[in-house]
Amino acid sequence: MKKIAIIFNPTSGSGKREKLNQIISRLEKNHQITLFETSGPGDATDIARRECDHFDIIVAAGGDGTINEVVNGLKIGSTLGIIPLGTANIMAIEAGIKTDVHSICTVLENGNIKKIYIPHINQKKFCLMAGIGYDGDIVHHMNPSLKKTFGKAMFGFLGFVEFLKSKKYKIKIEADNETYFGNWVLATKAKHYAGPYKISQTTSIFENNLICYVFKNLTRLNFLYYLFLIIFYGDLSKSKDIITLSSNHIKITSDEIVNVQCDGEKLSHLPINISFKNEYIQLLSF
């Protein structure tokens, strides 16, 4: 019998409570389950930090933002499980976890334990990616209640609005004593973006590396070409207008106010520093 703490974000979306109750009911047959509900930003981090020494597994039940908060409260080497109840559920896709009750319970009870390496963005840990510029604007303009109600459709609508605006920020990227400039930056450990769509063939949450895509010329026509690459090739590095960097330390600045998103949630503005500190947690995966 394992002691399992489930940290649940009740704002993760409509209809999620029923699925969570089904999962808990099944797990309780063989394990000791304690449910902790969050009531606001930062709660999941505080709960994970307080409880990680008292349970065998800490489970994040919610979207990628909830998982991010939980990870920020865990110690190196802690064991993390996930119950994907969010909008995009990229972490679950990366780990090969399906979203039905049977599959989730199977992974939590008998899943493979794999190390995932955790980089830092300023003083915050992240698991998947950071977006600076275009998608940072989308996330910062997202209304939480509309996100809960309309999910991916709301992201699509705001993405189209930002596409029409075609903002061309001047962003400075410094890595390995080289300097680059772009209009939009994606720093990613994940292969997937906005759900099941691949943007990279070489990254993995299970490896201690990160790719930084620098979009040099974010015109509407180029943006449509990037969508073409994602849909048909799953690899943005094929574009000559995108610089692909790999570094353990990346500094990103701008003279403008540029929005930053981290694992699908708001993270203030530039400047930021992205770095690896060789930290990892143990993830229960397929």
Tens of pLDDT along 122-149? 989 999 999 999 999 999 999 888 787 8
CA 273 from centroid of its chain's CA atoms: 17
Q: pLDDT for 15-68, tens place per residue?
A: 789 999 999 999 999 999 999 999 999 999 999 999 999 999 999 999 999 999
Beta carbons of 119 and 209 less than 8 angstroms apart: no
* DSSP code for 219: -
Instruction: Return d(Cα 235, Cα 233) in angstroms, integer.
Output: 5
Instruction: Return d(Cα 80, Cα 74) in angstroms, integer.
Output: 9
Domain boundaries, the chain: 3-110, 124-275
Q: pLDDT for 157-214, tens place per residue?
A: 999 999 998 889 999 999 999 999 999 999 999 999 998 999 999 999 999 889 999 9
Instruction: Return d(Cα 207, Cα 264) in angstroms, integer.
Output: 21
Options 3.30.360.10, 3.60.21.10, 1.10.260.30, 3.40.50.10330; CATH for 3-110 is 3.40.50.10330
Instruction: Return d(Cα 92, Cα 104) in angstroms, integer.
Output: 10
Residue holding tokens 């980089």?
Answer: 119
Instruction: Return d(Cα 175, Cα 178) in angstroms, integer.
Output: 5
Residue holding tokens 């001047």?
Answer: 170
Q: Does domain 124-275 have CATH number 3.30.930.10?
A: no
Instruction: Return d(Cα 24, Cα 255) in angstroms, integer.
Output: 49
Confidence check: pLDDT of 279 > 70: yes
Pick the residue with more confidence: 181 or 153? 181
Confidence check: pLDDT of 13 > 70: no
How far, CA to CA in Å, does 212 sit from each of 97, 173, 180? Answer: 26, 10, 11
Instruction: Return d(Cα 205, Cα 170) in angstroms, integer.
Output: 29
pLDDT value at residue 12: 64
* DSSP code for 3: E
How many CB atoms within 10 Å of residue 239?
A: 18
Beta carbons of 154 and 238 less than 8 angstroms apart: no
Helix (H) or strand (E) holding 272: strand 272-285
